Amino acid sequence: MKIVPLFEVKNRLSEYVKETASGPVVITKNGKPCAALVHMGADEDVEAFLLSHNPRFMNLLDKSFAKAQEQGGIPLSDVVNEVSKRVKKRRPKLLP
């Protein structure tokens, strides 16, 4: 992991993107962490990454899970399996 100021990242972004292969690069602004660059391999699931960092989506999952627990709903693993099937059917290929 590397910690660098924003002004330095602006000038050498491609260098820091390469460095993400060995760990995240934390970006600071006025000495405080404000963002991070993380490595995403070719086999990385971009949709899963984006959704896992979306506060609205995570809040919806938490609420749904709590409601299912209250009502004795279906197991989360069943929901995950069903959603995965539907996403795979609709997901366009990004690159060949």
Q: Which amino acid is at 74?
A: I
Cβ atoms of residues 1 and 25 within 8 Å: yes
Q: What is the mean pLDDT of residues 20-29?
A: 95
Per-residue tokens: 26? 């934390």
Share of the chain above pLDDT 70, in %: 88
Closest CA to 87 of 61, 40, 41, 48: 48
Q: E strand or H helix at 56, and its extent?
A: helix 55-71
Q: E strand or H helix at 5, and its extent?
A: strand 2-5
Q: Which amino acid is at 25?
A: V
- How much is the pTM? 0.58
